[in-house]
């Protein structure tokens, strides 16, 4: 049986400052090595000061993943040498004698399957190495410490996944959860990084390190299954090792033999005192947490009678559910949910496209009202929406620009139906016995009006004329 476990590093991107100093947590787009101080580059004699907000946000991740939070949390030094880590140790958490990391024993359900969370820990991100070309062939390696010390939450699962597909689904759920509680923007490049451990039937465990995208981790795991199966078929033992995902070649490559936990010589971090998290603090955090995705979904179904599948999609996406919250009222909620999940999500199926949408609540509100009051057909509504999200123009501007006004007045519709009857004599005579021909005629009217005719009025007129 294939067993897959994950270690996910999630940056707390919503924080102002780093984990142990006042440097900016948002290191992106700053000139190299400009966002540093003695603490985050680990100069001798510097003293780390724990960022309280980081502890709170990590605790919120614990809560949303159903983890236990211990009464006391503490920090450890994980010793290793690497150029991106000038202190030669990373300040992290470790359960040495008892659980003292910010979370343990949680669970997340995906498609009826329970994925157990072993542990959650708060730690600092190292700096960033920049290679010329690939890391294997480069002659020059540059290091930028701007990222060093930014707050990370590491989430470790039990090896409960059986397929790469389950991994991708889990990661999407996880990303939605952390985004919904406002601790991280998991779609920023590098904000969510994944290591995957994979072993086949009784085989050794192989670790795939630092994959930046959900699609790539799924591919990397698929590749590993095939590679390991082919080794087994040729009776070659699978090495326990760490492998890298080569994005360009779409393969994993051997990196180094895997170090064991004891190699890191964890020692308690004496510069940071033990932090007590009492039940009051947890209760306060729980109160501050935004409505959960599950509660939101229930509310959409119960209060607005939104179909469960639509409520599912809408509640799990923070961007779209925020848009929904700002646009809907008691009477148009279903229509707005419908526009968002069928049309809007269709135009913008990636994060980048979503960010480019020039849409606000007013656009949606106007569009839903126009559809409900039959000022515009659903088809034309979709065209109007497409234009609004591109230009940011108002609905009325777009309707007149694209000439999308609804043809629902009986007089002009009758004229158009007459024209169609003249052109489609055969269909008209068939239509007396054949329902398909009626639909055909209605279709012709729709075509002539470029989809602007009100369908129910059109059918009524066609039927009336056929029976006269």
Contact code string over 403-432 relative to Mn ion, x by CB under 5 A: ------------------------------
Angle of helix 164-180 relative to helix 214-233, nearest 10 degrees?
A: 160
Least distance between Mn ion and beta carbon 264 (Å): 11
Least distance between Zn ion and beta carbon 271 (Å): 14
Residue nearest to Mn ion (CB): 154
CA 253/CA 256 separation, integer angstroms: 10
Nearer to Zn ion, 23 or 191 (CB): 23
Choose the one of Mn ion, Zn ion, none that binds residue 40, judging by a C-beta under 5 to 8 angstroms depending on kind. Answer: Zn ion
Least distance between Mn ion and beta carbon 142 (Å): 23
Least distance between Zn ion and beta carbon 128 (Å): 15
Nearer to Zn ion, 21 or 311 (CB): 21
Nearer to Zn ion, 23 or 371 (CB): 23
Choose the one of Mn ion, Zn ion, none that binds residue 154, judging by a C-beta under 5 to 8 angstroms depending on kind. Answer: Mn ion
Sheet with 89-92, edge to edge strand ranges? 89-92, 76-79, 267-268
Nearer to Zn ion, 25 or 311 (CB): 25
Nearer to Mn ion, 269 or 335 (CB): 269
Least distance between Zn ion and beta carbon 46 (Å): 9
Least distance between Mn ion and beta carbon 266 (Å): 12
Choose the one of Mn ion, Zn ion, none that binds residue 368, judging by a C-beta under 5 to 8 angstroms depending on kind. Answer: none
Choose the one of Zn ion, Mn ion, none that binds residue 125, judging by a C-beta under 5 to 8 angstroms depending on kind. Answer: none
Least distance between Zn ion and beta carbon 23 (Å): 3
DSSP-assigned states of every residue in 440-463: HHHHHHHHHTTT-B-HHHHHHHHH
Choose the one of Mn ion, Zn ion, none that binds residue 211, judging by a C-beta under 5 to 8 angstroms depending on kind. Answer: none
Binders in 128-187 for Mn ion, by CB under 5 A:
154
Q: How is residue 298 written in tokens?
A: 């229930």
Q: How far is CA 133 from CA 35, 125, 140, 141, 248, in A?
A: 25, 23, 9, 10, 11
224 binds Mn ion (CB under 5 A): no
Nearer to Zn ion, 151 or 164 (CB): 151
Nearer to Mn ion, 195 or 366 (CB): 195
Least distance between Mn ion and beta carbon 154 (Å): 4
Nearer to Zn ion, 148 or 404 (CB): 148
Least distance between Zn ion and beta carbon 19 (Å): 9
Choose the one of Zn ion, Mn ion, none that binds residue 359, judging by a C-beta under 5 to 8 angstroms depending on kind. Answer: none
Choose the one of Mn ion, Zn ion, none that binds residue 372, judging by a C-beta under 5 to 8 angstroms depending on kind. Answer: none
CB 382 within 8 A of CB 398: no
Q: Which residues pair with 192 in a beta bridge?
A: 10
Q: Count interface residues toward Mn ion (CB under 5 A).
A: 1
Choose the one of Mn ion, Zn ion, none that binds residue 23, judging by a C-beta under 5 to 8 angstroms depending on kind. Answer: Zn ion
Choose the one of Mn ion, Zn ion, none that binds residue 269, judging by a C-beta under 5 to 8 angstroms depending on kind. Answer: none
Least distance between Zn ion and beta carbon 212 (Å): 25
Q: How is residue 390 written in tokens?
A: 């591109």
CA 421/CA 464 separation, integer angstroms: 12
CA dihedral 181, 186, 190, 193 (to 10 degrees): 90
CA 459/CA 305 separation, integer angstroms: 29
Nearer to Zn ion, 146 or 341 (CB): 146
B/e letters for 181-191, b = 16+ CB within 10 Å, e = fewer, are bebbbbbeeeb
Choose the one of Zn ion, Mn ion, none that binds residue 110, judging by a C-beta under 5 to 8 angstroms depending on kind. Answer: none
Taking each continuous run of H as one helix and of E as one strand, the counts in the chain are 17, 15
Q: What is the largest CA-CA distance in the chain?
A: 97
The single residue listed with the structure tokens 């000022």 is 375
Q: How is residue 414 written in tokens?
A: 């009758």
CA 377/CA 148 separation, integer angstroms: 55
**Separation of CA 444 from chain center:** 43
Angle of helix 308-316 relative to helix 164-180, nearest 10 degrees?
A: 70
The residues of the shown chain that bind Zn ion, judged by CB under 5 A, are 21, 23, 37, 39-40
DSSP-assigned states of every residue in 297-343: HHHHHHHH---HHHHHHHHH-HHHHHHHHHH--TTTHHHHHHIIIII
Least distance between Mn ion and beta carbon 9 (Å): 6
CB 53 within 8 A of CB 14: no
Nearer to Zn ion, 41 or 183 (CB): 41
**Separation of CA 249 from chain center:** 26
Nearer to Zn ion, 40 or 206 (CB): 40
Choose the one of Mn ion, Zn ion, none that binds residue 37, judging by a C-beta under 5 to 8 angstroms depending on kind. Answer: Zn ion
Q: Which parts of this chain interact with Mn ion (CB under 5 A)? A: 154
């Amino acid at each position: 049986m294939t067993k897959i476990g994950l270690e996910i590093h999630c940056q707390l991107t919503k924080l102002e400052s780093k984990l142990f100093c006042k440097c900016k947590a948002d290191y992106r787009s700053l000139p190299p090595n400009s966002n540093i101080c003695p603490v985050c580059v680990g100069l001798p004699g510097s003293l780390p000061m724990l960022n309280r907000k980081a502890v709170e946000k990590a605790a919120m991740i614990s809560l949303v993943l159903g983890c236990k939070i211990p009464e006391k949390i503490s920090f450890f030094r994980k010793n290793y040498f690497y150029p991106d880590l000038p202190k030669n140790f990373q300040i992290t958490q470790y359960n040495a004698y008892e659980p003292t990391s910010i979370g343990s024993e949680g669970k997340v359900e995906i498609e009826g399957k329970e994925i157990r969370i072993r542990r959650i820990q708060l730690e600092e991100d190292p700096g960033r190495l920049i290679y010329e070309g690939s890391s294997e062939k480069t002659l020059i390696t540059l290091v930028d410490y701007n990222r060093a010390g930014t707050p990370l939450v590491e989430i470790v699962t039990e090896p409960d996944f059986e397929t790469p597909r389950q991994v991708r689904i889990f990661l999407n759920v996880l990303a939605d959860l952390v985004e919904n509680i406002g601790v991280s923007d998991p779609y920023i490049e590098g904000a969510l990084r994944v290591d995957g451990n994979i072993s086949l039937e009784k085989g050794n465990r192989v670790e795939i390190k630092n994959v930046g995208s959900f699609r790539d981790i799924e591919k990397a795991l698929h590749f590993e299954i095939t590679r390991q199966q082919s080794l087994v078929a040729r009776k070659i033992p699978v090495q326990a090792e760490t492998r890298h995902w080569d994005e360009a070649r779409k393969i994993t490559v051997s990196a180094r033999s895997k170090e064991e936990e004891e190699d890191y010589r964890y020692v308690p971090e004496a510069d940071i005192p033990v932090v007590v998290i009492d039940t009051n603090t947890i209760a306060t955090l729980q109160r501050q947490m935004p409505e959960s995705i599950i509660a939101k979904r229930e509310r959409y179904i119960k209060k607005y009678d939104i179909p469960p599948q639509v409520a599912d999609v809408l509640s799990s996406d923070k961007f779209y559910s925020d848009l929904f919250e700002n646009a809907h009222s008691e009477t148009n909620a279903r229509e707005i949910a419908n526009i968002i999940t069928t049309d809007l999500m269709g135009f913008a199926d990636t994060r980048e496209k979503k960010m480019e949408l020039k849409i606000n609540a007013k656009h949606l509100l106007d569009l839903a009202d126009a559809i409900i009051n039959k000022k515009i057909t659903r088809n034309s509504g979709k065209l109007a929406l497409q234009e609004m999200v591109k230009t940011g123009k108002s609905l009325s501007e777009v309707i007149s620009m694209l000439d999308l006004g609804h043809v629902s007045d009986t007089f002009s519709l009758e004229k158009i139906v007459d024209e169609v009857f003249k052109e489609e004599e055969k269909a008209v005579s068939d239509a007396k016995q054949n329902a398909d021909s009626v639909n055909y005629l209605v279709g012709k009217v729709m075509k002539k009006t470029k989809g602007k005719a009100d369908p129910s009025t059109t059918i009524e007129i066609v039927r009336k004329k056929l029976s006269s």
